[in-house]
Amino acid sequence: MRRIGKWILLAAGLLLLFSLVGCAAGTGRFTEESKAGFWIGLWHGLICVVTFVIGLFHESVRMYEPLNRGNLYDLGFLLGVLIIFSGGCAPKRRRRCM
């Protein structure tokens, strides 16, 4: 049973990876008429680590969508990156040295 569970977990991980790559920035999905906006910027910020690693091996995948609406896309991208790298929203307690 354990062996089947590992295969299911591997298949789910690969499915998640492929779904993230399908929504990656710089894949030719957007045109001059339909540019990426805030929500796409937020999504690209959330998946920036995945697209960065894939972009190292594939020239067509970019971390940042060049055909965007400007400041709104930038704001969404920045918020997505902050959500990923913030480490959670709960404040951390520091121990005081005595």
Only one residue has tokens 């590992």, namely 6
Nearest alpha carbon to residue 76 among 47, 48, 37: 37
> Given this model, what pLDDT does residue 48 score?
87
Q: What is the pLDDT along the chain (98 residues), one digit of tens a residue?
A: 567 677 788 777 777 766 655 666 655 677 788 888 898 889 888 888 888 888 888 887 788 888 888 899 999 999 999 988 886 555 666 666 65
CA separation for the pair 18, 54 (Å, rounded): 11
- Judge whether 95 lies within some domain: no
How many domains is the chain partitioned into structurally?
Answer: 1
For the full predicted model, state whether its pTM sits above 0.85: no
- Judge whether 23 lies within some domain: yes
- Judge whether 7 lies within some domain: yes
> Given this model, what pLDDT does residue 25 score?
63
> Given this model, what pLDDT does residue 72 score?
92
- Judge whether 97 lies within some domain: no
